[in-house]
């Protein structure tokens, strides 16, 4: 009856959101911006609901890349201590970011961001080399082309990174609908951002009066 230790739980990981900024989004072609923003909202909301340690890191926000997606700011206002601005492309090589991530004490690290081939590959491979269990939310990442995104994902998977999706992430954290303390926040989040799945939840709630 014990769940696999390979599963994510609210207590066993940290989430790192990397460079979800306008300058990076303008050139992202591997996924539509609408879909990307929706998926970012799902994972940001999920981490907030389940109190997952979350680091939001930007690259030269004031001088180059601009502010983070509003979907992140909805759950993590920019004035909060969750934010770290960098100059390095590899988050793992930035000392304040590295300290913030490792200070969570979590041996599982979940990454999402722009671009997959640079800003995700760097910290993913670096964290793996230090013994961390690394997950990448593939549909909450994007790159300048489908080729760039897919080759980056293949490279990371080959090295040992575990790919997941945004809906998989939130449902793996909820895992049991009898967890009533998060049931309403999770279903409300999915009704807002969960596309067809969210409409299905709305339908079920209305039709069964639940």
Active site residues: 119
Contact by Cβ (8 Å): 202, 196: no
Instruction: Report in angstroms the alpha-carbon separations of 39 from 32, 36, 103, 168.
Output: 11, 5, 26, 11
User: Tokens standing for 19?
Assistant: 């460079």
Closest to 112 measured CA to CA, from 2, 46, 20? 20
3-state secondary structure of 210: coil
- Listed in sequence order, the residues at least 6 apart from 121 whose beta carbon sits closer than 8 Å to its beta carbon are 152, 155, 156
Measured in degrees and rounded to the nearest 5, phi and psi for residue 76 equal -130, 90
Question: Which residue has 């951002």 as its token pair?
Answer: 193
Question: Which residue has 């998977």 as its token pair?
Answer: 157
Angle at 156 between CA 151 and CA 159, to 5 degrees: 130
The CA radius of gyration of the chain, in Å to the nearest whole number, is 17
């Amino acid at each position: 009856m014990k769940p696999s230790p390979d599963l994510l739980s609210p207590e066993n990981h940290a989430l790192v959101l990397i460079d979800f900024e306008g300058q990076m989004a303008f050139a992202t072609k591997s996924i539509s911006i609408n879909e990307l923003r929706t998926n970012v909202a799902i994972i940001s909301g999920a981490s907030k609901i389940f109190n997952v340690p979350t680091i939001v890191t930007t690259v030269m926000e004031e001088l180059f890349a601009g502010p983070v997606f509003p979907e992140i700011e909805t759950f993590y206002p920019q004035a909060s201590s969750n934010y770290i601005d960098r100059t390095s492309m590899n988050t793992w090589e930035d000392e304040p970011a590295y300290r913030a991530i490792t200070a969570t004490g979590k041996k599982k690290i979940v990454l999402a961001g722009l671009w997959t081939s640079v800003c995700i590959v760097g910290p993913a491979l670096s964290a793996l080399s230090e013994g961390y269990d690394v997950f990448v939310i593939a549909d909450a990442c994007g790159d300048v082309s489908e080729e760039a995104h897919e080759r980056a994902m293949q490279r990371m998977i080959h090295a040992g990174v575990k790919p997941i999706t945004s809906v998989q992430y939130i449902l793996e954290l909820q895992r049991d609908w009898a967890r009533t303390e998060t049931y309403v926040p999770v279903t409300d989040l999915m009704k807002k951002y969960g596309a067809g799945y969210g409409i299905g939840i709305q339908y079920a709630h209305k039709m069964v009066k639940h």
